[in-house]
């Protein structure tokens, strides 16, 4: 079976780079164990578990021609499968194993078609994935996007990008770029697909960047659901404004404003700060207010801190902590908090070893508090 699978993979690799002038190959393995974990449920016990390692192979290639530059990007990731009993039958879920996209470009234009799981054109700075970065991929904290009490995370304030589609980018000069994307892979009626159009204008200045983004709603993929879905791939027609300030030495500041215009309108206001206080000591912080404009809706607040200190060359200690409040017009507030001390041995982008301890608490109403804890150990090797 291994030989049968290896043959087409080798053929893909050979075809990918046969005619390219520049080929880059990379990949990695990420593995994690929950060495100890438990909660305050009176019937639960302390348990240990392992998580199926993530294995990736990633390639990109480019070739110059008389009509411009052509290129391609490919990620191969062994599929994962799960089986669950549903009544009398069996449900089998099989995740995709490959993603890729192709592009053509010249001095001013760039056309792309395909898929890119990390997302194109995100305007979030360190406010989303960048806050914990590889710690998220390796130790997988459950609060990474700020969803403890309410399902309103940092995607409300910051545009997370486009995961697939037909995309066109125009860059007439170093200061301006204009981008338009269509979710052609969502399928459905053309009029619905056009409703999912995304457009972005970015302006680059000496002090930083300003960007404005519109992300439409493709009705064919999500109109059947009754609850709003705030995932950036299926939002209900949203506009974003973004400001990055990078002119101050050792300081990065991100501001985001998002207005989500259909169903239950929500406005997200967010900010993130990354500051190097000394060569060894750094501090990240991020916060957000989510304001639901419907009657009697709560206001949801997020606030997180992540100080770090280089103990020695290649060893860094972190103390993550966060607080989330959901404040209704009447009744009891909902409160969530976490503390997440952890140590990284190795480089920020890997290879590295992580040791951590996470304590989470969520209180909804009175006398209803769920506490969980875990001690994860993670290893990654990237090349």
* pLDDT of the residue at 119: 85
* pLDDT of the residue at 53: 83
Integer-rounded Cα radius of gyration of the chain = 22
Q: What is the mean pLDDT of residues 290-316?
A: 89
What pLDDT band is residue 363 in, cutting at 50, 70 and 90? Answer: confident
* pLDDT of the residue at 85: 44
Residues 80 and 119 in one domain: no
Per residue in 50-87, pLDDT (tens digit) is: 887 888 889 999 999 999 999 999 998 876 544 444 45
Q: Is the pLDDT of residue 229 over 50?
A: no
* pLDDT of the residue at 354: 97
Residues 31 and 175 in one domain: no
* Report for 91-105, 284-298, 347-361, 364-378: range of highest mean pLDDT: 347-361
Residues 126 and 264 in one domain: yes
Residue in this structure with the two tokens 């103390």, named with its chain if needed: 319
Residues 81 and 129 in one domain: no
Residue where a domain terminates, one of 87, 106, 125 = 106
DSSP string, 14-63: HHHHSS-SEEEEEEEEEEEEEEEEEES-TT---EEEEEEEEEEEEEEEEE
Residues 158 and 194 in one domain: yes
What pLDDT band is residue 39 in, cutting at 50, 70 and 90? Answer: confident
* pLDDT of the residue at 45: 87
Domains: count for the chain: 2
**Element housing 209 (H / E):** strand 208-215
Q: Which residues pair with 123 in a beta bridge?
A: 159
Q: What is the mean pLDDT of residues 182-196?
A: 83
Cα 17 to Cα 10, 59, 69, 98, 382: the distances in Å are 11, 9, 15, 17, 21
Computed over every residue of the chain, the mean pLDDT equals: 82
* Report for 41-55, 79-93, 305-319: range of highest mean pLDDT: 305-319
Residues 169 and 219 in one domain: yes
Question: How many angstroms separate the CA atoms of 212 and 123, rounded?
Answer: 9
Domain with 260 in it: 107-382
Residues 63 and 164 in one domain: no
b/e code 84-102 from CB counts within 10 Å (16+ = b): eeeeeeeeeeeeeeebbbe
Least reliable range by pLDDT among 117-121, 129-133, 212-216, 291-295: 291-295
Residues 52 and 116 in one domain: no
Better pLDDT: 22 or 73: 73
Q: What is the mean pLDDT of residues 287-314?
A: 89
What pLDDT band is residue 317 in, cutting at 50, 70 and 90? Answer: very high
* pLDDT of the residue at 225: 39
Residue where a domain terminates, one of 88, 106, 124 = 106
Q: Is the pLDDT of residue 197 over 80?
A: yes
Q: How far apart are the first and last CA of the chain?
A: 26
Question: How many angstroms separate the CA atoms of 342 and 68, rounded?
Answer: 47
Residues 64 and 158 in one domain: no
Q: Is the pLDDT of residue 11 over 70?
A: no
What pLDDT band is residue 216 in, cutting at 50, 70 and 90? Answer: confident
Q: What is the mean pLDDT of residues 279-305?
A: 89
Cα 171 to Cα 183, 297, 366, 371: the distances in Å are 21, 42, 55, 50
Q: Is the pLDDT of residue 146 over 60?
A: no
Percent with pLDDT over 90 in the chain: 49
Query: Which CATH number belongs to the domain containing residue 207 in this structure?
Result: 2.40.160
DSSP type of residue 217: -
Per residue in 256-270, pLDDT (tens digit) is: 999 988 667 889 999
Better pLDDT: 228 or 116: 116
Residues 111 and 70 in one domain: no
Least reliable range by pLDDT among 91-95, 139-143, 148-152, 167-171: 91-95
Residues 253 and 190 in one domain: yes
Residues 222 and 332 in one domain: yes
Least reliable range by pLDDT among 34-38, 100-104, 146-150, 321-325: 146-150
Residue where a domain terminates, one of 106, 128, 143 = 106
């Amino acid at each position: 079976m291994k030989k049968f699978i290896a043959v087409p993979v080798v053929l893909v690799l050979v075809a990918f780079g046969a005619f390219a002038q520049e080929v880059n190959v990379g990949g990695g393995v990420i593995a994690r164990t929950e060495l100890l974990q438990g909660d305050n449920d009176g019937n639960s016990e302390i348990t240990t578990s392992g998580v199926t390692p993530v294995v990736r192979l990633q390639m990109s290639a480019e070739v110059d021609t008389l009509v411009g530059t052509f290129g391609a990007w490919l990620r191969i990731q062994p599929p994962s499968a799960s089986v669950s009993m549903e009544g009398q039958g069996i449900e089998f879920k099989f995740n995709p194993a490959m993603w890729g996209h192709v592009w053509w470009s010249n001095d001013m234009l760039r056309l792309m078609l395909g898929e890119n799981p990390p997302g194109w054109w995100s305007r979030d700075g360190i406010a989303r994935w960048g806050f914990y970065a590889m710690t998220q991929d390796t130790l997988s904290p459950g609060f990474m996007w700020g969803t403890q009490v309410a399902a309103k995370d940092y995607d409300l304030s910051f545009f997370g990008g486009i995961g697939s589609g037909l995309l066109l980018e125009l860059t007439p000069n170093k200061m301006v770029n204009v981008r338009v994307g269509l979710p052609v892979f969502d399928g459905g009626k053309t009029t619905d697909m056009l409703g999912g159009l995304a457009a972005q204008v970015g302006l680059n200045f000496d002090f930083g960047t300003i960007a404005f983004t519109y992300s439409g709603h493709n009705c064919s993929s999500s109109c059947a659901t009754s609850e709003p879905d705030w995932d950036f791939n299926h939002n209900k027609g949203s506009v974003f404004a973004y400001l990055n300030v990078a002119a101050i030495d050792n300081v990065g500041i991100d501001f985001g404003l998002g207005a989500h215009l259909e169903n239950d309108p929500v406005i997200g206001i967010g900010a993130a700060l990354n500051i190097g206080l000394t060569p060894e000591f750094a501090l990240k912080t991020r916060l957000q207010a989510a304001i639901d404009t419907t009657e009697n809706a709560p206001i949801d607040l997020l606030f997180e801190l992540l100080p770090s200190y280089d103990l020695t060359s290649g060893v860094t200690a972190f103390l993550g902590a966060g607080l989330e409040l959901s404040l209704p017009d009447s009744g009891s507030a909902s409160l969530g908090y976490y503390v997440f001390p952890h140590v990284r041995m190795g480089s920020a982008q890997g290879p590295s070893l992580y040791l951590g301890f996470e304590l989470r608490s969520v209180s909804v109403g009175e006398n209803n508090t769920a506490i969980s804890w875990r001690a994860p150990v993670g290893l990654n090797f990237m090349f």
